[in-house]
Structure 1
Amino acid sequence: MHSSYLRLPADVPSGGRLVVLQLRVRRFFCPESSCARRTFTEQLPGLTRRHSSWTERLRSTLASVGLALAGRAGARLARAFGVPVSRSAVLRLLDALPEPEVPALRVVGVDEYATRKGRVYGTVLVDVETRAGPRPPRSPTRGDPASPSVSSGGRPRDPSSHARTSTGSCS
């Protein structure tokens, strides 16, 4: 053993009172001379993480608040229950979460929008069956050989073009 030091990770308040954890953790020498890390510190699985000043329980609580309210509102709510945190920290927690599994698409609708009138345009893919959107750009599209079961679910905006497409004329 090389030495020990005191860690004070923040935890979720209990009953409206601040919880203070004092952990004395040990630091060890690496016996191998070729090792890049000369010393290493013991970790407490399920309680702490390397270089983190929060417990895993507080981290998951803040991530849940962030999923519900996002940055600024999430930071305000966390401050209300006794955890001072910045909106950037809440958003960093959200970025660190794994991407949810997206089921395979069967019917896709394409929606175009303008964020600023006449200036900035965007296109999103929407799952027509569940009305979920917007989809990330890597979603399968019609004609993609990786997903032959995707079909277009859009309908024309102009009623006269609908009549032309249903009769088969190309004029």
Structure 2
Amino acid sequence: MIDTVVRVEARTPAGRAACPGCKCWSRRIHGSYLRFPRDLPTAGKFVVVSLRVRRFVCEEESCERMTFAEQVPGLTRRFGRRTERLRSMLVSVGLALAGRAGARMTDAFKVPVSRNTLLRLTASLPDPVTAVPRVVGVDEYAQRKGRVYGTVLVDVETRPPGRPPSRSGGGHARGLARRAARHRDRLP
């Protein structure tokens, strides 16, 4: 086990940190503790990061926070258990493969995570485009037993880039079909 692990011990050289609440700088150290964020494997070996994090006292009296922990930009985030490198790799796998296929791929990378973790990471991404897809037309339309069926043509250019296609069983498409059926006289 000793020869299959790379241990990285790190600490920040900065003598001060900014409070996330009031953005004021502080030099008063309250204490420190160790964090162990997971990182990408290197040369087939697991990487263990032992990061010494300091806790600072906020010097602004009007600030609601009394103490705060420093964050290392590009390495950690608040309450994060993975490094930013590992997180971005998992997000890329999640966007490309999603669910079970993505979980199998992360096993091959020696960073096993569940399919739900991959889906949660991709769902936490901000939407790059807030536009709703524009309905171009209805190709086929039918109504049986109170249900509306149809093939809806949408402007695919307005779909947010980088998002995997919906595999929710067509709930969004059904809503578009209903909306298109209501306005079918206005469609080109």
Q: TM-score, normalised by structure 2?
A: 0.59
Q: Are 1:70 and 2:98 an aligned pair?
A: yes
Shift of 1:112: 6.5
Q: Which residue in 2 is equivalent to 1:7?
A: 35
CA contact (8 A) 1:4 1:25 kept: yes
Aligned positions of 1:42-57 closer than 5 A = 42-57=70-85
Identity of aligned residues (%): 57
Gaps of 5+ in 2: 1-28, 160-164, 167-171, 181-185
CA contact (8 A) 2:134 2:154 kept: no
Shift of 1:14: 1.7
Number of aligned positions between the proteins: 139
CA contact (8 A) 1:109 1:127 kept: no
Mark the CA change 1:33 to 1:18 in structure 2 (over 3 Å): closer, same or farther: same
Amino acid at match of 1:75: A
Mark the CA change 1:94 to 1:33 in structure 2 (over 3 Å): closer, same or farther: same
Pick aligned residue for 1:109 from 125, 137, 153:
137
CA contact (8 A) 1:75 1:86 kept: yes
CA distance, structure 1, for counterparts of residue 51 and residue 187 of structure 2:
58
Q: Following TM superposition, where does structure 1 have runs of at least 4 consecutive aligned residues deviating by more than 6 angstroms?
A: 102-107, 117-120, 132-138
Amino acid at match of 2:71: Q
Shift of 1:21: 1.1
CA distance, structure 2, for counterparts of residue 15 and residue 113 of structure 1:
56
Q: Are 1:98 and 2:95 an aligned pair?
A: no
Pick aligned residue for 2:111 from 83, 88, 107:
83
Amino acid at match of 2:126: P
CA contact (8 A) 1:112 1:121 kept: no
Query: Which one has a larger percent strand, Structure 1 or Structure 2?
Result: 2
Mark the CA change 1:99 to 1:80 in structure 2 (over 3 Å): closer, same or farther: same
Gaps of 5+ in 1: 143-150, 154-171
CA contact (8 A) 1:111 1:126 kept: no
- Output the aligned Cα RMSD: 3.7
1:115-157 Cα deviation digits (max 9, x unpaired): xx978656645227x7x7888879xx99xxxxxxxx945xxxx
Q: Are 1:31 and 2:59 an aligned pair?
A: yes
Q: Are 1:17 and 2:17 an aligned pair?
A: no
CA distance, structure 1, for counterparts of residue 55 and residue 108 of structure 2:
36
CA contact (8 A) 2:71 2:78 kept: yes
